[in-house]
Amino acid sequence: MCAFVAARSAAEHALLASVCAGIQTAGTVAVFMLAGASTAWDTANEVAAGNVNIYVLTSLAVFGTVLLGCALEGALLLVLFGAAHLVEDELTDRAQANVKALWDSVPTEAWVLPRSALDESGAGAAADAPGSASAYSDDSDAEGEAELLGVDVSTARLRRAEEVLVGELLLVRAGQQVPLDATVVRGTAMVSVAHLTGEELPIQAAAGDEVAAGAQNLDGVLVLQAVRPSEDSMPARIARLTDKAQRRAPRLQTLIQRFGDVYSKAVLGATALFITAAPLVLGVPLVGADAGSGAIYRAFGFLTAAAPCALFMAPLVYVVALGRCARNGVLVHNARTLEALADAKTFLMDKTGTLTTGQLVCIGVERLEDALARERSAGAVAGVDADMLLKRELFQPSTSAERRALAVAEAFEHAASHPIARAVVHCHASAQAASRRSGTRLPRVQLGSFKQVHGRGVEGTAVLVGEGEPSEEISVVLGSLDHVAAKCVNADNAAGIRRLAAQVDSTHVTIAMRASVGGSSSSGGQQDVAGTDVIEDVTMMYFADTVRASSREAVSKLKEAAWGGESCDVAMVTGDRRENAVAVGATVGIPESHVHAGLLPEDKLARVEEARAKGVCVMVGDGINDAPALAAADVGIAVSHTPSEASAAAADIVLLRSDASVLPNLVQLSSRMKAILKQNLVLAAVSIAGAALPALSGFVPLWGAVLMHEGATLMVAINSLRLLPRSSFAMIKAEAKQWLVANKLAIGAILSLASLMFTAVLGWEAVGTAAIASASVSLVSGLLAGGLHTLTGPDHLAALMPLSVGVGRAQSFLLGALWGLGHDTGQIIFGCAFILLRSHMHFDLAMLSQYGTLAVAATLVIIGATGLWERMSGGHHHDHDHDDEIEVGDKKGWRKLFAVYSTGVLHGLQPDALVVIMPAFAMPTLNAICFLGAFLLGTIFAMGTYTAFIAKSVDIVAKTNGQRGVDRIAYLSSSISLVVG
């Protein structure tokens, strides 16, 4: 339409002007019918509801242009308005793609096992030897591992995940996803939960562990028991929470909406006022047809440019930020919280589970007399060694006494499951591995009697078997300090343990082990009790939770706050003893003056209130005792593995990743979100003022005001997307590149047609009216001939069908267009050869017909045989990601492209194809160029579109029938091509 408008304005001859005017009028009417109908419907709904918004303002402007006789500008306004909102909707969908990805990450089907599928003997084997079906066994397939677990996989049935009930058993093989939140019943495997946390490092899932829906089983076989229905799975809850947060408008967005309603009505009133006052005060005529005159024309330009579209688009950055948080395992209950986080002045952080892992490790083994010796040298009760607390490293025994004590403790704690027992077993395993490397051995311990004293410890007898030493029977008491002190025979030992108990806390647990040996032999450190023949040896074992590797870096980044330009205070609030808290603080970089230890929940609440008086306070914790402080803080952040825990319910933000490094990244994202929001508001305000005032003054035409207005709206939307990670931009870039590949021929055809039109206009005076009109007819005829020629004859369908199987729509379009280009090349070569040789040779029409049949046959045979060969050799298996598409930089890819082009050329070298383009050889030069150029573009675009439609059909078959359906289509299409050839 634009080309014909330019042609009309440049034309001086009545014929061309009338023709272009007719086409222009038809195009304008089509725009009003297609784009104006939906806008009018939206406007009617808004007016009926009493709303004055952008739809109402735009419709009034369009209606005004029609009244003024500027319908073309009104049509342009509709096109730009519709196109801009289409792009804005696409950008908004892109911003919410992270939340949609959470829904899509969960499989819709599940393999369900009946209870009878579990072999009880297999259960026992699995329990006794959890590693028997090891996830690291490379030589066992899924069925073999399932048999080791005692599972009859033949009884598994595929059902929809939403139909699975809580308590039913699920089978998940290697490479599959967990369909519902479930607890592992049997098996061990490495699973990836990157869809929830963004953390690529897999975790080990064993019996008793809960696995979230959507987790990817990387190896091994798992039998799980569903613990929640499909609609309550963790991804579903996260997506619901995030969607709710995105719908909950922050203060600024609410303010913009309220302001927008008043502003729209003010713009409407200002427009009416200008129409009334401009002729009286400024002397501007009421009616005019250009930007320089006419109060009504200027007013409608102002009405369009002043619409607050860009202002309403500014809060899109909230949606982008919340979606990105959800994708990285951060749940934000509302955007107001995220906005407040950018202004944080103080961070109060709990210790256990936040700065530390909350998992105990053995950090030291020490004989009681060595601890008492430290006490005597220090002149006071020493308690736990300060260096030991500061380092918090996994203990490695260096003396025979330490190895002996660790071996005995492991023997008694091996079957237990509490945190101290796991720490002892872990330390023993590490020491055993180190002893093998060094050539030493830990003593072997054979248990005798065993008695558990609930809540206090264990007692029993054991036999020590050392290398080259006689066996030794001992009685053992292992447990809390008070329990061991009560069992001590030696009064000095009991008193020493009680003094030490006063200096340690329950967070870095200390236990004691009393080993009593019958007989008169003694060794260093053993004390012979007077009046008895019992030798008593007491050993202390120290435990502490380890500091997270990322805590120090996270605290440092929070203190520097480089993204905001101002430093933040970071303090620790914990119920732990001060000695332990100071040690952790020194490790992570929190000074002693900022460590607040021994706090009760109400004390933490008071610290939060005190910090809020200085500015925005952020509280980070993980326990139920942190819930009051989390609720009172300006921003409460809970470190929680599930959003249903009490601390998570009281918090504003939930971190699903047990990684402190998420926190500074979250604050930085909040700061960037706030900066982009300010940029959006400034851009919106400047664009409104920069377009509305010139339009009101008459310096900018109506279409220019529309272009500036919609362009600013799109710029605001694109600016909001800068919060997306680079991977998202890479994906957008890839999609845009794929779209350009699929549509560049169509774009080229449109641009070529426009160029031909302008060339015809500029050469009008030299060529003449009749020649231009004739060339235009040839141009349209060439387009029709090229497009319709593609759809005729079964040979084209037989040739294009194999090219469209197993590839994406974009690549199938490219292959079809390339084949069409080759086809046209063959036609033109054959036509030129025919014209050059027709006066020198006698052509037998029967011979030409046989030659044409041979060319078509050869083409179809080559294509069909190639397709069958690719299928039989396993090439081009279809997959929805189309990872096997042709790489142009690859030699194999170039060979395939050349083969497609060559078969197209061969197919075009036939008399039937020559008949279609033969009229061009009898036309004048300009007509022939127009006809052949349009024929070439029409054929290429039609062939590509034809092939893309076939590929779309194949894709639908693939989604419903899988790879087997695609293979059948491939074999059938290649066979048809071969048989027809």
| Per-residue confidence band for 595, with pLDDT thresholds at 50, 70 and 90 | very high
Cα Rg of the chain, angstroms? 40
CB 283: neighbour CB atoms within 10 A? Answer: 8
Amino acid 960: pLDDT: 58
Least confident interval from 181-185, 309-313, 815-819, 858-862: 858-862
Q: Considering 689, 708, 725, which residue would you say is the last residue of a domain?
A: 725
pLDDT computed for residue 588 by the predictor: 87
> pLDDT-based confidence at 412, cuts 50/70/90?
confident
At 8-61, the pLDDT tens digits run 444 444 545 566 666 667 777 777 777 677 777 777 776 666 666 666 777 777
Q: Which two tokens stand for residue 378?
A: 């220090």
Other CB atoms within a 10 A radius of the CB of residue 69 amount to: 10
Greater model confidence, 121 or 485? 485
CA–CA distance, 313 with 257 (Å, rounded to integer): 11
Best mean pLDDT range from 507-521, 580-594, 653-667, 754-768: 580-594
- Annotated active-site residue 350? The verdict is yes
pLDDT of residue 447: 84
- State yes or no: pLDDT of 130 exceeds 50: no
**Bridge partners, residue 516, by sequence:** 475, 536
Q: Shortest CA distance to 331 belongs to which of 676, 658, 642, 670?
A: 642
Final residue before a domain boundary, out of 232, 266, 297: 232
Closest CA to 573 of 537, 535, 614, 603: 603
Residue 323 in domain: no
Residue 150: inside a domain: yes
Q: Do residues 305 and 691 make contact, with C-beta atoms less than 8 angstroms apart?
A: yes
Provide the pairing of β-strand 569-573 with 527-528: unpaired
CA 848 to chain centroid, in Å, comes to: 60
Contact 462, 449 (CB under 8 A): no
Tell me how far apart the alpha carbons of residues 53 and 267 are, in angstroms, rounded to a whole number: 10
Residues 443-461: b if buried by 16+ CB within 10 A, e if exposed: bebeeeeeeeeeebbbbbe
**Do the Cβ atoms of 442 and 490 come closer than 8 Å?**
no
pLDDT of 693 over the 90 cut: no
Cβ(799)–Cβ(903) under 8 Å?
yes
CATH classification of the domain holding 351: 3.40.50.1000
| Interval 254-305: pLDDT, tens | 777 777 778 878 888 888 888 888 888 877 777 764 545 678 888 878 887 8
User: Is 891 in the same domain as 785?
Assistant: yes
Residue type at 173?
R
Write out the two tokens for 692. Answer: 């509305």
Indicate if the alpha-carbon torsion angle 28, 15, 933, 796 is positive or negative.
positive
Same domain, 75 and 168: no
Residues 926, 810 share a domain: yes
Residues 827, 707 share a domain: no
Q: What is the mean pLDDT of residues 877-887?
A: 42
- Opening angle at CA 270, ends 269 and 276, nearest 5: 90
The whole-number average pLDDT for the span 924-930 is 73
826 and 947 in a single domain? The answer is: yes
Matching residue, tokens 């023949």: 533
Q: pLDDT above 70 covers what percent of the chain?
A: 57
User: Helices in 278-313 by DSSP H: which ranges?
Assistant: 295-305, 309-313
Tell me: do 607 and 715 sit in the same domain: no
Determine, yes or no, domain membership for 102.
no
Backbone angles phi, psi at 365, to 5 degrees: -130, 125
C-alpha 556/C-alpha 702 separation (Å) is 55
d(CA 218, CA 176): 8
323: confidence class by pLDDT, cuts 50, 70, 90: confident
Residue 103 domain flag: no
For residues 470 and 397, membership in a common domain is answered with yes
Q: What is the mean pLDDT of residues 870-896?
A: 50
Residue 732 · residue 94 · CB < 8 Å: yes
Do 71 and 151 lie in a common domain? no
CB proximity list for 175: less than 8 A, separation 6 or greater: 216, 217, 218
> 873 and 767, same structural domain?
yes
- pLDDT of 571 higher than 90: yes
CA distance 916 to 931: 11
Q: List the single range of 374-378, 553-557, 948-952, 969-973 with lowest mean pLDDT.
A: 969-973
CA distances, 224 to each of 20, 189, 652 (Å): 72, 12, 32
The pTM is what? 0.56
As for how many domains the chain has, the answer is 5
- Residue-level pLDDT at 641: 59
pLDDT at 347: 92
Question: What is the mean predicted confidence (pLDDT) over 179-200?
Answer: 78
C-alpha separations of 612 from 11, 338, 632 in Å:
74, 17, 9
Q: Is 57 exposed, middle or buried (0-12, 13-18, 19+ CB in 10 A)?
A: buried
Which of 316-320, 591-595, 781-785 has the largest mean confidence? 591-595
- The highest-confidence range among 315-319, 528-532, 553-557, 575-579, by mean pLDDT, is 553-557
Q: Which residue's entry shows tokens 């400024």?
A: 282
91 pLDDT more than 70: no
User: Are residues 876 and 885 in contact, defined by beta-carbon separation less than 8 angstroms?
Assistant: no
Of 963, 981, 811, the C-alpha closest to 900 is 811
Specify whether 73 is located in the same domain as 199. no
Tokens of 904: 């197209």
State the Cα angle at 769 between 767 and 774, rounded to 5°. 90
Distance between CA atoms of 830 and 141, rounded to whole angstroms? 60
The strand ranges marked E within 1-125 are 109-113
pLDDT on residue 572: 92
Phi and psi for 476 in degrees, rounded to 5?
Answer: -125, 140
For 463-522, what is each residue's pLDDT tens digit?
887 655 667 788 888 887 877 888 887 777 788 877 777 666 544 445 566 666 553 332
Q: 862 and 973 share a domain?
A: yes
Q: Is 83 part of any domain?
A: yes
Distances (CA, A) of 491 to 475, 485, 524: 18, 9, 19
**Strand-by-strand arrangement of the 216-217 sheet:** 203-205, 189-192, 216-217
Mean pLDDT of the chain: 71
The boundaries of the domain holding residue 521 are 360-367+386-540
Nearest Cα to 773, choosing from 917, 926, 916, 938?
Answer: 926
Q: How far apart are the first and last CA of the chain?
A: 44
Residues 477 and 457: beta-carbon distance below 8 Å: yes
Q: In whole angstroms, give the CA distance from residue 541 to residue 369.
A: 13
Which is the catalytic residue, given 350, 537, 634, 659? 350
| Among 304, 427, 279, residue whose Cα is nearest residue 365 | 427
Highest mean pLDDT (candidates 140-154, 200-214, 387-401, 599-613): 599-613
| 379: in domain | no
Residue 410: Cβ-neighbour burial (10 angstroms; 0-12, 13-18, 19+): buried
- Note whether residue 745 is domain-resident: yes
E-strand spans in 657-746? none
Residue pair 507/576 in contact (Cβ under 8 Å)? The answer is: yes
The top-scoring range by mean pLDDT among 30-34, 345-349, 646-650, 803-807 is 345-349
Among 165, 197, 232, the domain-final residue is: 232
Q: Assign residue 129 the CATH number of its domain.
A: 2.70.150.10
Pairwise CA distance, residues 577 & 28, whole Å = 80
Share of the chain above pLDDT 90, in %: 2
Once rounded to an integer, what is the mean pLDDT over residues 190-212? Answer: 74
CA distance 103 to 528: 69
In this structure, are 516 and 574 located in the same domain?
no
Q: How many CA atoms lie within 13 A of 752 on its CB side?
A: 20
Instruction: Name the most confidently modeled range: 9-13, 671-675, 850-854, 947-951.
Output: 671-675
Give, to the nearest 10 degrees, the angle between helix 71-95 and helix 14-48. 50
Residue 918 is assigned to a structural domain of this protein: yes
